[in-house]
């Protein structure tokens, strides 16, 4: 039987999810980085697990979306909800799991009086942008600028 979106359970992040998130990230990026995710999950658990839903199918975590609510950054006085990291296991993509994770984040942010939800994506990553546009994002008036001050992998 093919699984449907109805069988997916969306729930807040827990410490026990780290290993599945590491595995999903490894499938998406080809890089195994448990220490990185241990730190990140720890950070989001301290900040707000409710703003970081995971999607579970038959007890297995198959997707996650980490977000944070902040205000007063970059001269933006309004409360902003930042979507920072997300991913759906490639075996489970195309089943509205990403959309359901986003709807959960959006509901959480609305309850926290967020005025605008923002995120940054690499211009070369058209898949991520297509997903974000499909769930309602549009071009922003903010422009991302950067200045490289060290070679990649070189710590200052």
138 makes contact with ligand COA (CB under 6 A)? no
Binding mask 24-43 for ligand COA (x = CB under 6 A): -x--xx--------------
**Piece of 37-45, 72-80, 91-99, 147-155 that binds ligand COA (CB under 6 A):** 91-99
Window contacting ligand COA (CB under 6 A); options: 33-41, 97-105, 106-114, 146-154: 97-105
Distance separating alpha carbons of residues 53 and 55, to the nearest angstrom:
7
Q: What's phi and psi for 124, nearest 5 deg?
A: -80, -10
Decide if residue 114 touches ligand COA (CB under 6 A): no
| Residue 86 binding ligand COA, by CB under 6 A | yes
Say if residues 71 and 115 touch (Cβ distance below 8 Å).
Answer: no
**C-alpha closest to that of 113 among 150, 72, 71:** 71
To ligand COA, the closest distance from the beta carbon of 25 in angstroms equals 5
d(CA 58, CA 62): 10
Q: What is the number of H-type helices and E-type strands within the chain? A: 4, 5
List interacting residues with ligand COA (CB under 6 A).
25, 28-29, 85-88, 93-99, 127-128, 130-131, 134
């Amino acid at each position: 039987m093919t699984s449907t979106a109805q069988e997916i359970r969306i729930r807040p992040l827990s410490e026990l999810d780290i290993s599945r998130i590491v595995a999903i990230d490894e499938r998406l990026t080809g890089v195994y980085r448990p220490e990185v995710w241990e730190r990140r999950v720890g950070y989001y658990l301290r900040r707000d697990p409710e703003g970081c839903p995971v999607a579970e199918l038959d007890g297995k975590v198959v997707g996650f979306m980490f977000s944070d609510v902040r205000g007063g950054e970059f001269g933006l006085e309004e409360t902003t909800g930042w979507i920072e990291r997300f991913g759906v296991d490639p075996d489970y993509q195309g089943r509205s799991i990403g959309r359901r994770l986003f709807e959960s984040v959006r509901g959480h942010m609305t309850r926290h009086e967020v005025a605008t939800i923002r995120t940054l994506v690499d211009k070369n990553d058209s898949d991520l942008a297509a997903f974000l546009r499909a769930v309602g994002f549009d071009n922003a008036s903010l422009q991302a600028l950067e200045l490289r001050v060290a070679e990649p992998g070189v710590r200052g």
